[in-house]
Amino acid sequence: MARKTPVPTEKADKSKLASPANGKIRAKAAKDSGGREADAAEPAQSKQGIQSQGEVMAPADTQLKDATSGKSAQTSGVTVAPVAHAAAMVPEPMPGPSGKSETKASAMHRLPAGDVDTRSRNLEAAAKPGFPTEAEFVANLPPLPVDEPQDESHEAAVLQAIEAEFSNLPSVTEADWEPVAAFEPEAVSAPQPEHFPQAPAIPSLFIVQITPELAPVAKVGGLADVVFGLSSEMEIRGNQVEIILPKYDCLRYDHIWGLCETYGDLWVPWYGGAIHCTVFFGFVHGRKCFFIEPHSTDNFFNRGGIYGCNDDVMRFAFFSRAAMEFLWKSGKHPDIIHCHDWQTALVPVFLYEIYQHLDMRHPRTCFTIHNFKHQGVTGAQLLNATALHRPEYYFHYDRLRDNHNPHALNLMKAGVVYSNFVTTVSPRYAMEAKDQGQGFGLESTLHIHHQKYGGVVNGIDYEFWNPGLDRYIPSHYSVNTIDDKYRNKQALRGRLLIADNEKPIVAFIGRLDPQKGLELIRHAIFYTLQRGGQFVLLGSSPDGQINNYFWSLKHQLNDHPDCHIEIGFNEELSHLIYAGADMVLVPSRFEPCGLTQLIAMRYGTIPVVREIGGLADTVVDKDFSDQPLPERTGYVFRDYDDKGLESALGRAISCYYEYPEHFRELMKNAMRRDYSWKNPGQDYLNIYDHIRNK
Ligand code: ADP
């Protein structure tokens, strides 16, 4: 990785970039303040003024507030603390970008003079008695929830309901049970690359995706991105793709073009009757989409959100039935129906148990599992609702019966049993789920169906996630103009009101779910600050306890000049973070694929990840790998503990400070990797072709 000619470091870039941009900010601030243009136009003067006067009156109209976070950056008329005082409060040395020691105060001296809000916030912050240490913070709060698959409150509630339901019914006796062979996982050393059957020339296919999520109109996590990206890739390759999803009230309608009613008279069987539905058609960034809107008092999709209701299983069972009824009534006979996660896992069941007897024999089904943790466990009521009569048939161990609770049905298991092919989202996770106890109870089912099971690593949509075109970032760049990335870093700091200094920005973007490694995320915040970095977090959780925990953390670190915690879902901000950060952290307990590290690499942002699932398949450690240097893209750690995390994050921060040229090369390596849908698209086409001939 050694270079003959020195590459410009970030420091050099910033000296080039800072003046013009800051000049603009200063001019605006001064204009707002009413006739202080002369001062504002002269950066040296302003800076000198701040440092020597010791006190700064902020312009009257600069009561800027971070609206999304509620963070107050009010500066109007506030006399901020003198710099000299700030320096006294923060004496500890930390490594500077050149390897020299510097203090927070000296870093603050380099703040752009015109960035009034950031500066005053920092000085105020530095004047406080001190921010909590991690130990102090942890001592004041209950522990974070741990990821116990059997202890999910929602599923527990569902199971309770099932028990109640069955207490009035003749229960399944031991005699009815099929003998189940004890499950003994085979020892498997390392995952092998998947080799799907090769098909040199695949004719154009008609593919229907039935999905609960689609980016960007209905997005909770990576599933939404995957359906959009895969559909685009399939169309680029000359296939016809249609997508069916619920017409949620919370759809991003601003991303749907030409929405119109296309089928007004769809009656979907439900509990011995039928629910009237309207089907709408619209384009989502060029993809053809059908949105199903049921009209019933259940209000299935008018809940203000996508998931999180007690009747989620029923809502999506209805959607799956409605999607199949729509295909049948409208005379569509796709070659492939591709469904996703437990929400649409009943689609292959309906196809083979109902619709093929109604002359729908052509379609084949592919079922993709994005996360084994959520399986859609429910009771016999489901069978009544969906007209899958014959409970004794469906409660058979070989069909829908949950592997652990003989009184429960498991939708994800149904999808595995009934589909023609089952994929999960990386080869490593496919192996972990089948052989290493990550299948949340479905290990034995995966073993039984192993011949139609495999892992295809996800891609990302290279048009949507493109630092050269991204409409949410102010400065476009590519691997050849990587210096321009740092304008985004400045913009990010301006947006989040964190200090403009030469520290690396470490970011976390994702659901605040125990799966994502919440304790390690918390530790990473304090560790990064201690090692002379900045930390930015963007995330949210439907779990109130977790949200409160991070709100509390945010509250305590709100005024820290080097930290910003943003609770919520914000697509636009996520793009700016990917472009502006130096590192993205993914310390998951388990991770089926993970898109954040793939997006980060696309934006030249170095992933720091745990060696697990798709993270292990996609990130190659800079220092510890047998891959050639140009293949190395980030930092990897194995053990799920503070020391493990520090071993990777510490190396990344050290490299940033001590070997900036190496860090720059690593950024370029990451940007050159191809994690588009090109390769996974071909894998899926091979799978489609394989099953349609069966
Ligand atoms: P998962 O599917 O487990 O949620 P992935 O890493 O596969 O995780 O995908 C997460 C996707 O959701 C990425 O596109 C990420 O940028 C996005 N995302 C997650 N949380 C947020 C958030 N709070 N705001 C914006 N985007 C988010």
Please tell me if the CB atom of residue 430 comes closer than 6 angstroms to any atom of ligand 1.
no
Q: Which of 223, 147, 153 is nearest to 520 (CA)?
A: 147
When pLDDT is cut at 50, 70 and 90, the band that residue 77 belongs to is very low
Question: Which residue has the least CA distance to atom 12 on ligand 1?
Answer: 221
Distance 544 CA to ligand 1 centre (A): 19
Please tell me if the CB atom of residue 458 comes closer than 6 angstroms to any atom of ligand 1.
no
Q: What is the dihedral of CA 540, 541, 542, 543, to 10 degrees?
A: -140
Site to probe by mutation for ligand 1, drawn from 213, 252, 511, 567 as the one with most ligand atoms within 8 Å of Cβ, is 511
Which residue do the tokens 């522990």 mark?
143
Helix (H) or strand (E) run with residue 666 in it: helix 660-672
**Upper half-sphere CA count for residue 15 (Cβ side, 13 Å):** 4
The more confident residue out of 153 and 469 is 469
Task: Quote the pLDDT of residue 140.
Answer: 74
User: Do 185 and 219 meet the contact criterion of CB atoms below 8 Å apart?
Assistant: no
Q: Which of 324, 358, 319, 361 is nearest to 341 (CA)?
A: 319
CA distance 304 to 306: 7
CA distance 428 to 327: 35
**What tokens appear for 265 in the block?**
């008279």
**What tokens appear for 443 in the block?**
């290990």
Please tell me if the CB atom of residue 64 comes closer than 6 angstroms to any atom of ligand 1.
no
Task: Quote the pLDDT of residue 649.
Answer: 98
Please tell me if the CB atom of residue 222 comes closer than 6 angstroms to any atom of ligand 1.
yes
SS3 616: helix
Distance 595 CA to ligand 1 centre (A): 7
- Kindly report which listed range (127-141, 305-319, 569-583, 617-631) carries the lowest average pLDDT score: 127-141
Closest ligand 1 atom, CA of 225?
A: 14
Distance 540 CA to ligand 1 centre (A): 10
Using a 10 angstrom Cβ sphere, with 0-12 exposed, 13-18 middle and 19 or more buried, the burial of residue 470 is buried
- CA angle, 94 as apex, 90 and 100 as ends, to 5°? 125
Please tell me if the CB atom of residue 511 comes closer than 6 angstroms to any atom of ligand 1.
yes
Using a 10 angstrom Cβ sphere, with 0-12 exposed, 13-18 middle and 19 or more buried, the burial of residue 474 is middle
Q: Which of 106, 102, 105, 111 is nearest to 14 (CA)?
A: 111
Task: Quote the pLDDT of residue 126.
Answer: 44
- Count of CB atoms within 10 A of residue 189's CB? 6
Distance 565 CA to ligand 1 centre (A): 16
Please tell me if the CB atom of residue 215 comes closer than 6 angstroms to any atom of ligand 1.
no
User: 351 φ, ψ to 5°?
Assistant: -60, -45
pTM, two decimals, is 0.76
Task: Quote the pLDDT of residue 52.
Answer: 32
Please tell me if the CB atom of residue 584 comes closer than 6 angstroms to any atom of ligand 1.
no
SS3 119: helix
Indicate whether 11 pLDDT > 50.
Answer: no
CA distance 650 to 464: 32
Distance 219 CA to ligand 1 centre (A): 9
Residues 6+ apart with CB under 8 A from 35: none
Q: Which of 605, 595, 611 is nearest to 680 (CA)?
A: 595
SS3 423: strand
Report H helices in 354-389.
Answer: 381-386
Distance 326 CA to ligand 1 centre (A): 30
From residue 609, give the alpha-carbon distance in Å to each of 201, 218, 252, 302, 494: 38, 27, 31, 37, 27
Helix (H) or strand (E) run with residue 347 in it: helix 346-353
- CA angle, 118 as apex, 116 and 121 as ends, to 5°? 100
When pLDDT is cut at 50, 70 and 90, the band that residue 664 belongs to is very high
**What tokens appear for 649 in the block?**
């994050």
Residues 6+ apart with CB under 8 A from 658: 95, 99
User: Do 297 and 311 meet the contact criterion of CB atoms below 8 Å apart?
Assistant: no
Displacement of CA 19 from its chain's centroid (Å): 35
End-to-end CA distance of the chain: 49
CA distance 289 to 343: 18
Distance 571 CA to ligand 1 centre (A): 9
CA distance 310 to 395: 22
Indicate whether 462 pLDDT > 80.
Answer: yes
Please tell me if the CB atom of residue 514 comes closer than 6 angstroms to any atom of ligand 1.
no
Distance 54 CA to ligand 1 centre (A): 44
Question: Which residue has the least CA distance to atom 26 on ligand 1?
Answer: 571
The more confident residue out of 401 and 44 is 401
* Largest separation between any pair of C-alpha atoms in the chain: 91
CA distance 280 to 290: 6
Please tell me if the CB atom of residue 570 comes closer than 6 angstroms to any atom of ligand 1.
yes
SS3 241: strand
Please tell me if the CB atom of residue 363 comes closer than 6 angstroms to any atom of ligand 1.
no
Give 263-279 pLDDT, tens digit per residue: 999 999 999 999 999 99
Please tell me if the CB atom of residue 509 comes closer than 6 angstroms to any atom of ligand 1.
yes
**What tokens appear for 203 in the block?**
């004719």
Distance 617 CA to ligand 1 centre (A): 18
Indicate whether 185 pLDDT > 80.
Answer: no
User: Do 191 and 431 meet the contact criterion of CB atoms below 8 Å apart?
Assistant: yes
CA distance 552 to 545: 11
Please tell me if the CB atom of residue 598 comes closer than 6 angstroms to any atom of ligand 1.
no
Closest ligand 1 atom, CA of 566?
A: 23
Helix (H) or strand (E) run with residue 421 in it: strand 421-424
Closest ligand 1 atom, CA of 515?
A: 3
Q: Rank 62-76, 89-103, 194-208, 400-414 by mean pLDDT and report only the highest.
A: 400-414
From residue 205, give the alpha-carbon distance in Å to each of 359, 611, 686: 20, 37, 12
Site to probe by mutation for ligand 1, drawn from 543, 584, 596 as the one with most ligand atoms within 8 Å of Cβ, is 596
Distance 337 CA to ligand 1 centre (A): 25
Distance 222 CA to ligand 1 centre (A): 6
Mean pLDDT along residues 109-138: 50
User: Do 366 and 419 meet the contact criterion of CB atoms below 8 Å apart?
Assistant: yes
Residues 6+ apart with CB under 8 A from 341: 212, 223, 368, 369, 370, 371, 374, 412
User: Do 506 and 645 meet the contact criterion of CB atoms below 8 Å apart?
Assistant: no
Question: Parallel, antiparallel, or unpaired for β 101-102 and 94-95?
Answer: antiparallel
Closest ligand 1 atom, CA of 586?
A: 6
Please tell me if the CB atom of residue 539 comes closer than 6 angstroms to any atom of ligand 1.
yes
**What tokens appear for 35 in the block?**
């006739």
Helix (H) or strand (E) run with residue 12 in it: helix 10-33
Q: What is the dihedral of CA 674, 679, 684, 688, to 10 degrees?
A: 160
Distance 312 CA to ligand 1 centre (A): 21
Question: Which residue has the least CA distance to atom 20 on ligand 1?
Answer: 510
Mean pLDDT along residues 465-487: 97
Please tell me if the CB atom of residue 33 comes closer than 6 angstroms to any atom of ligand 1.
no
- Count of CB atoms within 10 A of residue 63's CB? 15
Please tell me if the CB atom of residue 510 comes closer than 6 angstroms to any atom of ligand 1.
yes
Relative orientation angle of helices 346-353 and 312-329, to the nearest 10 degrees: 40
Distance 305 CA to ligand 1 centre (A): 16
Distance 511 CA to ligand 1 centre (A): 6
Give 332-355 pLDDT, tens digit per residue: 999 999 999 999 999 999 999 999
- Kindly report which listed range (119-123, 404-408, 489-493) carries the lowest average pLDDT score: 119-123
Please tell me if the CB atom of residue 594 comes closer than 6 angstroms to any atom of ligand 1.
yes
Give 552-595 pLDDT, tens digit per residue: 999 999 899 999 999 999 999 999 999 999 999 999 999 999 99
